[in-house]
């Protein structure tokens, strides 16, 4: 009788310990995974997706009220977006010409980003009423240039090379419009010289992509 009672008590204790040691899965775990998709998903890292995020960042570049400073900030962000799209092509593309272009964009990013970073630190006090109106016109033109990206965008095809070519083409067209605003409204001589070089190089790359 006693041994049977002892066995029963031990059995109950063991069952209770098992229940206590089994952790309950938090209720919010599944929702968290749904809110934060796996960044390795290819559709999130495709050239069209990368270019779309780059275009969105162009719209949110902080404005200082100084045209020369803002032009350098916009071109720096544009170069960053082109370089990121080029990184996708170098990782997933197969077309030798497009891969060569992607490598060229990488080298240009390394060179021009340094020059643009130095120019971004050059600010000028031009807080006159006339300059304020001039800056407002510049801001409207920049907004129109960013809006134009929607006209050039193409739906993704799933082909890395074709998607890179289409995304880069749209990105370069926007960049050409931005640099034209820099040439038209800027006043800093080194910036104007860089803008002319930028326009030449980006137009050349656009023709390469279109070919």
What pLDDT, on a 0 to 100 scale, did the predictor assign at position 153? 76
Q: pLDDT over 90 for what percent of the chain?
A: 31
Determine contact, residues 190/208, Cβ cutoff 8 Å: no
Which residue, among 59, 55, 73, has the nearest Cα to 182 in the 3D structure? 73
- 132: phi then psi, degrees, rounded to nearest 5: -60, -45
Least confident of 35-44, 98-107, 115-124, 172-181: 35-44
The string of pLDDT tens digits covering residues 142-170 is 998 888 777 777 788 889 999 999 999 99
Which has more confidence, 210 or 19? 210
Helix (H) or strand (E) run with residue 168 in it: helix 160-185
pLDDT at 64 over 80: yes
Q: What confidence tier does 89 reach under pLDDT thresholds 50, 70, 90?
A: very high
User: What phi and psi, each to the nearest 5 degrees, are found at residue 128?
Assistant: -85, 165
In angstroms, the CA 73 to CA 173 distance is 18
Higher pLDDT, 24 or 200: 200
DSSP assignment of 41-91: -GGGSSHHHHHHHHHHHHHTPPP-S-HHHHHHHHHHHHHHHHHHHHHHHHH
Mean pLDDT of the chain: 78
The verdict on domain 43-210 having CATH code 3.40.50.300 is no
| pTM for the model | 0.72
Q: What is the pLDDT of residue 20?
A: 45
Looking at residue 63, its pLDDT comes to: 85
């Amino acid at each position: 009788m006693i041994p049977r009672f002892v066995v029963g008590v031990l059995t109950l204790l063991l069952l209770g310990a098992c229940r206590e040691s089994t952790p309950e899965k938090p209720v919010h775990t599944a929702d968290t995974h749904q809110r934060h998709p796996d960044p390795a998903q290819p559709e999130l890292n495709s050239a069209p997706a990368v270019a779309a995020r780059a275009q969105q960042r162009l719209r949110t570049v902080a404005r200082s009220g100084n045209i020369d400073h803002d032009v350098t900030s916009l071109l720096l962000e544009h170069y960053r977006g082109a370089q990121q799209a080029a990184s996708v092509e170098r990782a997933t593309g197969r077309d030798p010409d497009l891969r060569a272009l992607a490598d060229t964009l990488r080298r240009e990013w390394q060179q021009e980003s340094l020059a643009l970073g130095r120019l971004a630190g050059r600010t000028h006090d031009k807080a006159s009423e006339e300059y304020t109106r001039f800056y407002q016109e510049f801001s409207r033109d920049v907004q129109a240039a960013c809006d134009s990206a929607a006209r050039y965008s193409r739906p993704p095809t799933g082909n890395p090379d074709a998607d890179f070519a289409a995304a880069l083409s749209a990105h370069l067209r926007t960049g050409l419009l931005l640099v034209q605003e820099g040439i038209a409204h800027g006043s800093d001589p080194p910036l104007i010289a860089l803008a002319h070089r930028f326009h030449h190089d980006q137009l050349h790359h656009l023709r390469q992509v279109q070919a």
